[in-house]
Amino acid sequence: MDAPDAPGDRSGGGSRAPPPERTQLPELIRRKRDGGRLSEGHIRAFVRAVVDGSAQGAQIGAMLMAVRLRGMDLEETAALTRALAASGQQLEWPEAWRPQLVDKHSTGGVGDKVSLVLAPALAACGCKVPMISGRGLGHTGGTLDKLESIPGFTVIQSPEQMRGLLEHVGCCIVGQSQRLVPADGVLYAARDVTATVDSLPLITASILSKKAVEGLSALVVDVKFGEAAIFPSRAQARELAEALVGVGAGLGLRVAAALTAMDKPLGRSVGHSLEVEEALLCLDGAGPPDLRDLVTRLGGALLWLSGMAEAQADGAARVAAALDDGSARSRFQRMLAAQGVDPELARALCAGTPAQRGELLPRAREREELRAPADGTVEQVRALPLARVLHELGAGRSRAGEPLRPGVGAELLVDVGQRLRRGTPWLRVHRDAPTLSDPQRRALQGALVLSDRAPFAAPSPFAELVLPPPARAPPDTRQ
């Protein structure tokens, strides 16, 4: 066990430099600020200070910014991942579960409700999915925030409760408690309010530390790229994907990374309650095709990586079957009830019609439809301005712990590639505010990009799969 932060050895011998473990936080911040490299001992010392409360908020923010500006190499990133994972309890499961233990993570997108669908679908395919998820970062929504829009849903579960959930349901979606990766919980919230969300090493360590404690056989990370993603270019996203795969391999975790486009919202709904409703549609075997496509591709890759399917395509077909036969929806219902939702409400949500579901979840006070300003084909629906306006309306946070308005959101009434006539409703905004401001209305209308070309089929958001080394024969990732 490393010693806690303390002044240097005072037993004599002159002014020896303190060992790395005892270097004071300002010196560590200065070292990284000036482009220096942090040792594993330095990184452990910083993480200990975060957990025990001796690191001040200003010091945490300064270190995050130093890392954001100066970066970390793969060894530093791996050391940070290990230190975060070791900051709390390690999850332990029966050895017989190991081949079944899989998980998925996303770097964050607009309208990304894949986890709500994929976890129960994988459970229906025989997997154990101990998903430790997060809250919204920046303009992107968080899985936990979406689930908490369901009355009674409890995201904090002890390791013992998680084990019971995996045994009886096959999946759980939980947050970071004081016992599970507590250091990352502090840093995650701080990143959201210090403009350090897009730091590659911080993203890598945050994602993999939560997964390292899960004892997984396989992990797929959905790395978003595009205007509304953390990284705008595919090349930047690939750099993160390769870091995740490489650091994961060093931790003994089989990680693959899917690169997926995030220029337009995923699906048709954005906002916490609205996204739960759309996830339920997908669990019905229906819903937007881009959402279903991504769920089945990611699930297929996980089943293949864990050895539970012969090929990615076979795994994708199994996930699709779980959506179509109702077994995935049944697992979701059981997960809701097991994580605090009244069983009758869980049943009504999963068995009800879309209209009935809408009455059971929080709703915004007002709805307003925006109309197409001209004739044209929908070339793009820009996710970023849409997300920013919804953030202003209460769907996102400006500071850690700020309450959200779960009913605030928007529904896309059109598809990319569709031909519109001037005056056709294209967006329905759900708001608690009395009215949209003129700048908000202009920003939303600017999200609709029209062109003169003929109608076309919307492309899949899936781009490629980055595989772990040494890879077996790669699965078929053709469009």
At 43, phi and psi to the nearest 5? -65, -40
pLDDT of residue 141: 66
Q: Which of 39, 133, 143, 269 is catalytic?
A: 143
With 0-12 CB in 10 A as exposed, 13-18 as middle and 19+ as buried, what is 421? exposed
Tell me whether residue 143 is one of the annotated catalytic residues.
yes
Q: Which of 5, 103, 290, 293 is catalytic?
A: 103
Q: Which fold has domain 363-451?
A: Aldehyde Oxidoreductase; domain 3 (3.90.1170)
Q: Which of 23, 87, 106, 269 is catalytic?
A: 106
Tell me whether residue 103 is one of the annotated catalytic residues.
yes
The vertex-167 CA angle with 301 and 257, nearest 5°, equals 20
Q: What is the pLDDT along the chain (479 residues), one digit of tens a residue?
A: 333 333 333 333 443 444 444 569 999 999 999 999 999 999 999 999 999 999 999 999 999 999 999 999 989 999 999 999 999 888 899 999 999 999 999 988 899 999 999 999 999 999 999 998 877 656 666 899 999 999 999 999 988 999 999 999 999 999 877 788 899 989 988 998 899 988 999 999 998 998 888 889 999 999 999 999 888 999 999 999 999 999 998 888 899 999 999 999 999 999 999 999 999 999 999 999 999 999 999 999 999 999 999 999 999 999 999 999 999 999 999 999 999 999 999 999 999 999 899 899 999 999 999 999 999 999 999 999 999 999 999 988 767 677 889 999 999 999 999 999 999 999 999 999 999 999 999 999 999 999 999 999 999 999 999 988 764 444 554 44
pLDDT of residue 470: 62
Identify the H or E element spanning 243: helix 234-250
pLDDT of residue 193: 87
- How many whole angstroms separate alpha carbon 279 and alpha carbon 354? 11
Q: Which fold has domain 95-354+461-466?
A: Pyrimidine Nucleoside Phosphorylase; Chain A, domain 2 (3.40.1030)
In the chain the first and final C-alpha atoms are separated, in Å, by 50
Q: Which of 128, 146, 191, 405 is catalytic?
A: 191
pLDDT of residue 164: 96
pLDDT of residue 370: 98
Global pTM reads 0.85
pLDDT of residue 256: 95
Q: Which of 32, 113, 139, 210 is catalytic?
A: 210
pLDDT of residue 96: 94
- How many whole angstroms separate alpha carbon 327 and alpha carbon 126? 11
Tell me whether residue 260 is one of the annotated catalytic residues.
no
- How many whole angstroms separate alpha carbon 418 and alpha carbon 440? 24
Cβ pair 289, 78 in contact under 8 A: no
Q: Could you tell me the residue ranges of all domains in the chain?
A: 20-71, 95-354+461-466, 363-451
Query: Locate tokens 């507590």: which residue?
Result: 182
- How many whole angstroms separate alpha carbon 301 and alpha carbon 307? 10
Tell me whether residue 211 is one of the annotated catalytic residues.
yes
pLDDT of residue 176: 75
Q: Which of 135, 139, 211, 405 is catalytic?
A: 211
Tell me whether residue 105 is one of the annotated catalytic residues.
yes
Identify the H or E element spanning 465: strand 462-466
Q: Which of 44, 105, 163, 268 is catalytic?
A: 105
- Residue 312 half-sphere exposure toward CB, CA atoms < 13 A: 22
351's CB contacts (< 8 A; 6+ apart) are none
- Residue 435 half-sphere exposure toward CB, CA atoms < 13 A: 3
Tell me whether residue 128 is one of the annotated catalytic residues.
no
Tell me whether residue 104 is one of the annotated catalytic residues.
yes
Q: Which of 177, 194, 204, 206 is catalytic?
A: 206
DSSP state of 395: I
Tell me whether residue 191 is one of the annotated catalytic residues.
yes
